[in-house]
Amino acid sequence: MIGIAGAGKVGAQSALEIASRGLDDIALVDIVPGLAEGEALDISHRLSDAGVDVDVSGSSDFGALRGASLVIIAAGLGRKPGMTRMDLLSKNSGIISSVAKEAAKYAPDSTVLMVTNPMDAMTYVALKATGFPKARVVGQGGVLDNSRFKYVLAKKLGVSRGSITSVVMGEHGENMIPVASHTYVSGVPLTSLLTEEEVQQAIEDTRKVAADVISKKGATIFAPGVSVARMAAAIVNDTKEVLAASAYLEGEYGLNGLCIGVPVRLGRGGIEKVYEIKLSDRERDWFNKGADTLREAISTLAA
């Protein structure tokens, strides 16, 4: 069974995407009376039309997470127009700590997948609150950011999105790194197709696109939901897919004691391996800048 804590827009959309894939039964939990139950019913009706036979239930009691193999945390406050992800740090840290402890209580053998922003910092909070091994606490960000990078590049290059191979690393925020030096269009290096100025513009467009969506419709919903489902599938089905995700580092990339986006292999036990790739000097500078931001955020929480 998959538990989802937080039945707001992203939590509910994640539940719909996961259920539609028939991954496993789902237990939705939210402290707002009736919300999780209502979303569960709506999703179940949608699944009936598609002939998908998984059970989706809703509750305001965290006991519903009992026995879950995967707990997705999407609880907390979302970004408003004009806000950065880091603006949510103090407000969401207490919520996530409380929810993570409930996950550890009722699903002590689970893997935790963090969605709530500021995601990397909240992944760290969940890791400390659950007391789980670092492999079993992972944050969702790079998969979502990469989908946005592919969108930007496909429009700029006039090619199919499916022909683009890319990765987005670092802080899930203003310091994210769409890694141009490891981006290809069916094997053709991006750097041979765009000028340095065009590459940097594509990177900036990727960093700003979520704020643009939020300013126009109030929240990002569909892209985060499918990104969560992709990661959930890798964990539940033990596919060993390599995706960018927030992981707790102990020496990798020269960093210690924080969670940040890097390529990882995902399986039933969570993060099975962290991959280190060579970054350009500019990319390394951005990666370290994001790490500095996260280190400062963590020190604020500890104060």
Which positions are catalytic? 172
Distances in Å between the alpha carbon of 295 and those of 150, 167, 193? 29, 23, 36
Nearest alpha carbon to residue 196 among 281, 89, 95: 281
Distances in Å between the alpha carbon of 132 and those of 127, 152, 178? 6, 37, 30
The HSE-up count of residue 107 (CA atoms within 13 Å, CB side) is 28
Structural contact between residues 121 and 97, judged by C-beta atoms closer than 8 angstroms: no
Distance CA 200, CA 219 (A): 26
Extract the tokens encoding 103: 């996950």
The owner of tokens 């939990």 is 29
Beta-strand runs (E) in the chain: 2-5, 26-29, 56-59, 70-73, 111-114, 137-139, 164-165, 168-169, 177-178, 184-185, 188-189, 241-250, 256-267, 270-274
Distance CA 279, CA 290 (A): 14
Q: Is 137 left (phi over 0), alpha (psi -120 to 50) or beta?
A: beta
Distance CA 63, CA 47 (A): 24
